[in-house]
Amino acid sequence: MSKKPHYWNKAKKILSSKDKIMKGLILKYQDKTLTTRKDLFYSLCKSIIGQQISVAAANSVFKKFLKACKGKIKPGSVTKLNKLKLKKCGLSRQKIKGIQELAKKFKNKTFDTKKIKYMSDEEAIQYLSDLRQIGRWSAEMILIFNLNRSNIWPIQDIGLLRAISNNYKKKYHPPINFVKKLNKKFTPYCTVATWYLWRSIDDEPIQY
């Protein structure tokens, strides 16, 4: 894992000055920060595995997947795994297809990871979403946890919406106009605001 994003300390000061509730969350969780894994293939595999299942279930499947890959989640090691081995890890048919296709594209270099750093957030989301089993939510998680983009506001994320409801005393789901208002208020550091809101409902930081 790498050090915290370069913008983190500046973002904390600006967000604290803009919003009292966010200031309280930043003070409460000041000893923790977003950590980044600079391995896009690893993060994409973990994102696919974690889709539509609980954190506990995802961790269990991922451990089996890591063991099947002999501790190295690389395109070459994944392409050696057949469908049966992947199924034994606990992966669904669609997730198996997604991971196998992902491994082939990375191994054959038909997916150009170097392009992404020159893309806007929205362009990067669309590019990542072209991959099988990677939708908008998964792409946003990659931009937050792997690419360190500073202004991601994943409004499809149940955890974020629940945290907004809890902290700002809104019903669940919070009104879309209020969610958009927070988005505008927290720009250009929505990623940091999202991370602290997540912490308010789950003290254990998520990693991809």
Return the pLDDT at 164: 96
At residue 2 the predicted structure's pLDDT band, cuts being 50, 70 and 90, is low
> Each residue of 73-102: b (16+ CB within 10 Å) or e?
bbbeebbebeeeebeebbbbeebbbbbbeb
Domain-wise residue ranges, the chain: 8-36+151-201, 40-145
Return the pLDDT at 104: 96
Assess whether pLDDT exceeds 70 at residue 206.
no
Q: Whose CA is closest to 77, among 38, 113, 107?
A: 107
Q: 8-36+151-201 has which fold?
A: Endonuclease Iii, domain 2 (1.10.1670)
Residue 39: C-alpha distances to residues 57, 69, 75, 160, 195 (Å): 22, 15, 11, 25, 20
Judge whether 188 and 151 are in contact, CB under 8 Å. yes
Return the pLDDT at 172: 85
CATH number among 1.10.3720.10, 3.90.1150.10, 1.10.340.30, 1.10.10.10, domain 40-145:
1.10.340.30
pLDDT tens-digit readout, 99-124: 999 999 999 999 999 999 999 999 99
pLDDT tens-digit readout, 154-202: 998 888 999 999 999 988 889 999 999 999 999 999 999 999 999 998 8
Distance CA 108, CA 54 (A): 32
DSSP string for residues in 150-184: S----TT-HHHHHHHHHHTT-PSSPPHHHHHHHHH
Return the pLDDT at 50: 86
Query: Length of the chain, please?
Result: 208
pLDDT tens-digit readout, 22-31: 999 999 998 8
Average pLDDT of the residues of the chain: 92
Kindly state the tokens that stand for 125.
């989301």
Return the pLDDT at 98: 96
192: Cα separation from own chain's centroid: 13
Percent of the chain with pLDDT over 90: 78
Q: What is the dihedral of CA 123, 125, 130, 133, to 10 degrees?
A: 180
Return the pLDDT at 171: 86
Helix axes 158-167, 176-186, angle to 10 degrees: 90
Work out the average pLDDT over 48-68: 89
Say if 8-36+151-201 and 40-145 have the same CATH topology: no
Q: pTM of the entire structure?
A: 0.88
Question: At which residue do the structure tokens 């099947």 appear?
Answer: 68
Q: Whose CA is closest to 146, among 189, 113, 101?
A: 113
